[in-house]
Amino acid sequence: MRKVDDYIKEKMKKNPEFATRYNLIMEKAAVVKEIIKYRIRHNLSQAQLAKEIGVTQQYISKIEEGEFSNLDTIENVLRHIGYRLKLEVVPV
């Protein structure tokens, strides 16, 4: 029986578009994980974190669902929890 990681690697080799989408999802998940870890470590609700940062609870919720596109705002959230955003442009 194949392992999930082996299946994903195989699919990424065969389909570059899948690889691009998969990597973006994984990068977003890493951002979400750090924000959630911060909230848990500091015993904060989404609303409390939002108030500290100056955004709405709904925005924190969307970020935690992986739905974010405004880089300035996500950078602000990450800076607040001790991270910085690093963008990298790579050839396709």
CA dihedral 23, 79, 66, 2 (to 10 degrees): 40
pLDDT at res. 70? 82
Q: Summarize pLDDT for 34-76 with one digit per residue, the tens.
A: 999 999 999 999 999 999 999 999 999 999 998 887 888 889 9
Task: Give me the chain's average pLDDT, please.
Answer: 90
pLDDT at res. 34? 94
Say if 88 falls within a structural domain. no
Say if 41 falls within a structural domain. yes
Say if 86 falls within a structural domain. no
Domain that holds residue 54: 4-80
Asked if the model's pLDDT at residue 2 lies above 80, the reply is no
Top-confidence residue, 49 or 27: 49
Average pLDDT over residues 2-6: 86
Say if 8 falls within a structural domain. yes
- Here the CATH number for the domain that contains residue 34 is 1.10.260.40
Say if 65 falls within a structural domain. yes
